[in-house]
């Protein structure tokens, strides 16, 4: 179970400052809500994917 910072706190800081666990959890949460995300939510989801890919390099 995820026990890190909540979305309201995470969205106030750079994604570079997120832990890997926070990034994975947020990605999974957005992925599950994908059919219901608006334009802003989709933009955030794309940013999470981009950050994950950059960390994998």
| The overall pTM is greater than 0.85 | no
**pLDDT tens for residues 13-55?**
999 999 999 999 999 999 999 999 999 999 999 999 999 999 9
What is the number of domains present in the chain?
A: 1
**54 lies in a domain?**
yes
Compute the residue count for the chain. Answer: 57
Range of the domain at 26: 21-31+38-57
Number of H helices, E strands in the chain: 3, 0
Tokens describing residue 50: 């981009």
**pLDDT tens for residues 1-10?**
788 899 899 9
Burial (CB count within 10 angstroms: exposed 0-12, middle 13-18, buried 19+), residue 51: middle
**12 lies in a domain?**
no
Tokens 């059919």: give the residue: 35
How far is residue 44's CA from residue 40's CA, in Å, rounded to a whole number?
A: 6
In this prediction, residue 29 carries a pLDDT of 94
**2 lies in a domain?**
no
């Amino acid at each position: 179970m995820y026990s890190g910072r909540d979305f309201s706190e995470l969205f106030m800081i750079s994604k570079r400052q997120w832990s890997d666990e926070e990034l994975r959890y947020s990605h999974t949460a957005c992925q599950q809500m994908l059919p219901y995300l608006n334009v802003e939510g989709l933009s955030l989801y794309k940013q999470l994917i981009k950050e994950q890919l950059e960390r994998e390099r």
